[in-house]
Amino acid sequence: MDIAALDVRYGPVRAVRGVDLVVPQGGITALLGANGAGKTSTVMAIAGVVTPVAGTVAIFGRNLTNATPDAIVRAGVAICPEGRRIFASLTVEENLILAGSAAGNPETAATRRAALMERFPILGERRKQLAGLLSGGEQQMLAVARALMSEPQLLLMDEPSLGLAPQMVDTVFGIIEGLRAEGISILLVEQNAALALEVADHAVVLANGAVAASGAPGDLAGNDILKSAYLAA
């Protein structure tokens, strides 16, 4: 995925300013920065949820700038949003059933649901439980499973570790590395820069909506620009 010169505005607020960003095929790009730096707005523009005022979004060689969220899902992109956004008053299985329209037909959706409940056994065990009763980590697994219902090639993950117990953070990051091993490209938005830099192949730091630094994770870890991007919040 390749985005170039992306601008997102909310009225007078310039949330994203001229951002260039690449996710290598089958790799993880970490998108870092303080609260309000423009990370979620960038993700939402890629997903087609907000319309950029300028710039281009190319996904697997196709220009998908201004495409609808539906078209972007069909192009192989799925989003795991900040705060997980699962339906707390529905069961685990019902949450996956709702995501099933992305699978094309009911048989395919049922097969994918079954495979995901095998892949994440805790979701299989709790399939009849209300999603709101799951732990934070289990809810994050459900959010990942829901995103995988469309069998994406590119996964946009917004703050997957937020609010999770340390052990669960490890589990979730293990899942992220497993997805990359399967060839899925991942844009990983994280407040926890150290953790994200451990798994990423490439990293981009945003400050006040613009790219403050980008490069190899090893070069950015401990970098003053990264530190000041967080202190600027």
Positions touching ligand ATP (CB under 6 A) are 10, 13, 15, 33, 35-41, 82
Instruction: Please return the burial class of 26, using the count of CB atoms within 10 Å of its CB with bins 0-12, 13-18 and 19+.
Output: middle
Helix (H) or strand (E) holding 110: helix 106-119
Shortest Cβ 164–ligand ATP spacing (Å): 15
Closer residue to ligand ATP, CB minimum distance, 32 or 116: 32
**Measured from the CB of residue 21, what is the shortest distance to ligand ATP in angstroms?**
13
Q: Which is closer to ligand ATP, CB of 163 or CB of 178? A: 163
133, two tokens: 């009763």
Write the CA distances from 130 to 78, 84, 86, 88, 90, integer angstroms: 23, 15, 10, 6, 5
Please state the closest distance from residue 44 (CB atom) to ligand ATP, in A: 7
DSSP run (H or E) holding 190: strand 185-190
Phi, psi of 189 (to 5 degrees): -85, 125
Q: Which is nearer to ligand ATP, 124 or 136 (CB)?
A: 136
When the beta carbons of 26 and 36 are compared against ligand ATP, the nearer one is: 36
Residue 82 beta carbon to ligand ATP: minimum distance, rounded to whole angstroms: 6
As measured in angstroms, the least distance from the Cβ of 200 to ligand ATP is: 17
Q: Give the residue with the Cβ less far from ligand ATP, 37 or 195.
A: 37
CA 195 to CA 213: how far, in whole Å?
17
Distance from the first to the final alpha carbon of the chain? 28
